[in-house]
A and B are shown apart, each in its own frame.
Chain A
Amino acid sequence: MDFSFLSEYWYYFVSGTVNTIVIAILTVILGVIIGTGIALMKISHNKILKAVASSYIEFIRGTPLLVQITLFFYLISLPKLRILGLDLDRFIPGVIAMSVNSGAYVAEIIRAGIQAVDKGQMEAARSIGFTQGQAMRYIVLPQALRNILPALGNEFVVVIKESSVLSVISISELMRNTNIIQGAIYRPFEPLAVTAVIYFILTFGLTRLLGYAERRMRTSD
Chain B
Amino acid sequence: MKKGLLKRIFCLLIVATIGISIAGCGGGETMKRIEKTGKLVVGTSGDYAPYEYHMMVDGKDTIVGIDISIAEEIAKDLGVQMEIVDTDFNGLLSALNTKKVDIVIAGMNPDEKRKKSVDFSKIYYEAKQGVMVRAEDKDKYKTIADLKDKKVGAQLGTTQEKIVKEQIEGANLVSLGKIPDLVMELKNKKIDALVVELPVANGYVKNNNDLALTDIPVEDDTGGAAVAVKKGNSNLVEQINKTLDRLMKDGLIDKFVQEANEKNVTAE
Chain A residues with CB under 8 Å of chain B are 2, 4-5, 8-9, 11-12, 15, 48, 51-52, 54-56, 58-59, 74-75, 80, 85, 168-170, 179-189, 192
Contact = CB atoms under 8 A, between A and B. Distances in A.
A184 B183 CA distance: 13
Contact of A80 (B100, B208, B267): B100
A184 B267 contact: no
A192 B183 CA distance: 13
B1 A85 contact: no
Contact of A74 (B16, B54, B181, B264): B16
A217 to B, nearest CB: 38
B48 A183 contact: yes
Contacts of B207: 185-187
Contacts of A180: 46-47, 53-54
Interface centre among A4, A187, A188 (most CB of B within 10 A): A188
Nearest to A74: B16
A180 B179 CA distance: 11
B61 A75 contact: no
Nearest to B65: A184
Interface in B55-77: 55-56, 61
A182 B178 contact: yes
A170 B88 contact: yes
B61 A11 contact: yes
Given A8-B266, A187-B208, A182 B47 contact: yes
A75 B16 contact: yes
Contacts of B179: 183
Interface of B: 1-2, 5-6, 12-13, 16, 20, 46-49, 53-56, 61, 85-88, 91, 100, 178-181, 183-184, 187, 203-204, 206-208, 264, 266-268
Given A179-B180, A188-B183, A189-B187, A11 B56 contact: yes
Contact of B267 (A5, A51, A59): A5
Nearest to A52: B1
Nearest to A177: B54
A181 B178 CA distance: 12
Q: Is chain A's binding surface mostly helix, strand, loop or mixed?
A: helix
Contacts, number: 91
Contacts of B180: 179, 182-183, 188
B47 A85 contact: no
A59 B208 contact: no
Nearest to B23: A77
A70 B86 CA distance: 17
A126 to B, nearest CB: 30
B61 A183 contact: no
Given A4-B267, A183-B179, A186-B203, A58 B61 contact: no
Contacts of A184: 47, 49, 53-55, 264
Contacts of A4: 266-267
B16 A55 contact: no
Contacts of A48: 1
Nearest to A2: B267
Given A183-B47, A183-B179, A185-B207, A169 B88 contact: yes
Contact of A183 (B1, B2, B53, B88): B53
Nearest to A50: B1
